[in-house]
Amino acid sequence: MTTSPALSPLAMAALSGTDTKTLDPKAAVRLGKIKDTANDFEAMFINSMFQQMFAHVGDGPFGGGPGAKIWQSFLTDEYSKSFAKKGGIGLAANIQRELLARQEIQ
């Protein structure tokens, strides 16, 4: 089992939601990118779970026409984005913490 390295006080402040105005501009931009990346990754993971879940549902509300699979993929994509935006399943915070830790090591 691997553990994350200890985070600097600046990284801990960023993770705790402290106002990013106190950070230098480059750090604030980097933190924003890290948050976006973590949220996007969580949305992709949730989308993958939804696709597997819906793969065995059948036609559902789409009627099974030629475009049903396309609309189903749109639906799962929107569901996953909505879930991630509302807090998701908790992956984004952990990913964000790991990304911050890895950047501090380098």
Domain ranges of the chain: 9-105
pLDDT confidence of residue 49:
92
Distance CA 39, CA 83 (A): 10
Quick: pLDDT tens for 32-75.
898 899 999 999 999 999 988 887 776 666 667 777 778 888 98
Q: From CA 54, how far away is CA 98, in angstroms rounded?
A: 31
Structure tokens at 65: 């026409």
Please give the mean pLDDT across all residues of the chain.
79
